[in-house]
Amino acid sequence: MCDILDEKEKILRTKSQEVKFPISAEDKKRVHDMIEFLTNSQIDELAKKYDLRPGMGLAAVQLGIPKRYFVIVHEYEEGKFDNYVIFNPKLVSNSEEIIYVGDGEGCLSINRETCGIVPRYARVTVEGYDEDGNKIRIRAREELSVAFQHELDHLDGILFTDKIDAKDPFKNKDLYREI
């Protein structure tokens, strides 16, 4: 389905390139595969059947394709998903409030235990393009906001572990709101 690169792969540290429209049939198929993978990974019986780690988002660079696009599959209700596909995304606004995921962030490219606070904006607005080249604008809050910021970081060669203070992993915990 999707061969996800491990954090040791140097390409994950590169800045991905803008996508030119119209997008290729190969990229369209890749987007479909990414949606299918992420959806299946969040459905317990399919995740067990196919031995998938649960994931909410995937950037093209995690598949070895250094292009500026990602997919997020958000389970907003048991068994109900919203799919977000965005090409050439840009963060255009954010809240002042900072949050962090209490259980810690995870990443399909990081296959080791990690702990610590990853400060993220509670709300973001992201602009980019859909598969057909139409401009889109997405407002995200809380968990979805974290996912958008996580995937945007991938496009710039940043992993969530880079945002954890190595000397004090829970630094400033009291200044942020846990989600």
Going along the chain from its start, the domains and CATH numbers come out as 10-178 (3.90.45.10)
Confidence at 2, pLDDT banded by 50, 70, 90: confident
Q: What is the mean pLDDT of residues 135-162?
A: 98
User: Which of 115, 102, 94, 93 is closest to 160 using CA atoms?
Assistant: 115
CB-CB contact of 64 with 141 (8 Å): no
Active-site annotation holder among 9, 96, 105, 151: 151
Q: Does 142 qualify as catalytic in the annotation?
A: no
Confidence at 145, pLDDT banded by 50, 70, 90: very high
Token look-up 């979805």 returns: 144
pLDDT in tens, 55-114: 999 999 999 999 999 999 999 998 899 999 999 999 999 999 999 999 999 999 999 989
Number of H helices, E strands in the chain: 3, 8
Mean pLDDT over each residue of the chain, to the nearest integer:
96
Q: What is the mean pLDDT of residues 20-46?
A: 95
